[in-house]
Amino acid sequence: MATPQTAIRDDERYERLSDLYPRLWKQLDLICGDTKWLEVASVSQAELRAEAQTILNEISSRLAESASLIDAHVLEQDFKKTQALVEQANQQEGGLDGFRDYLRDLALRYSQLADES
């Protein structure tokens, strides 16, 4: 059973994950150019990548300190795949749209978990 300290840590992790996945999603959104789901202000690919990398590093160090259900390897793979898709901008194979939807869904899921915690 989770102690109050563990619950707080889980809450913080979900909040940081709900910060990470919209940034990854937005990187792919900028490539597509057809939707502006999170368009509040213009932002560059470099800014989004730097913010996502900072969040990923923070989350990974926290996950290393505790037993967590969240797999840091999966987070790293999602980050790397996003960067590869951004660099390739390969929309013809359909992988971009599917992965963009995956990132959007995780962004929403972690945001909801952060709100519920």
The reported pTM is 0.67
Calculate what percentage of the chain has a pLDDT beyond 90. 26
Asked whether residue 116 carries a pLDDT value surpassing 50, the answer given is: yes
Mean pLDDT of the region 49-74: 83
Cα(25)–Cα(93) distance, rounded to whole angstroms? 18
pLDDT value, residue 62: 78
Instruction: State the Cα angle at 9 between 68 and 62, rounded to 5°.
Output: 60
pLDDT in tens, 73-112: 889 999 999 999 888 875 455 567 788 888 999 999 989 9
Token pair belonging to 60:
């990974």
User: Average pLDDT, whole number, for the chain?
Assistant: 79
Q: Where are the domains of the chain?
A: 4-116
Q: How far is CA 49 from the centre of its chain?
A: 11
Q: HSE on the CB side for 6, CA within 13 Å?
A: 7
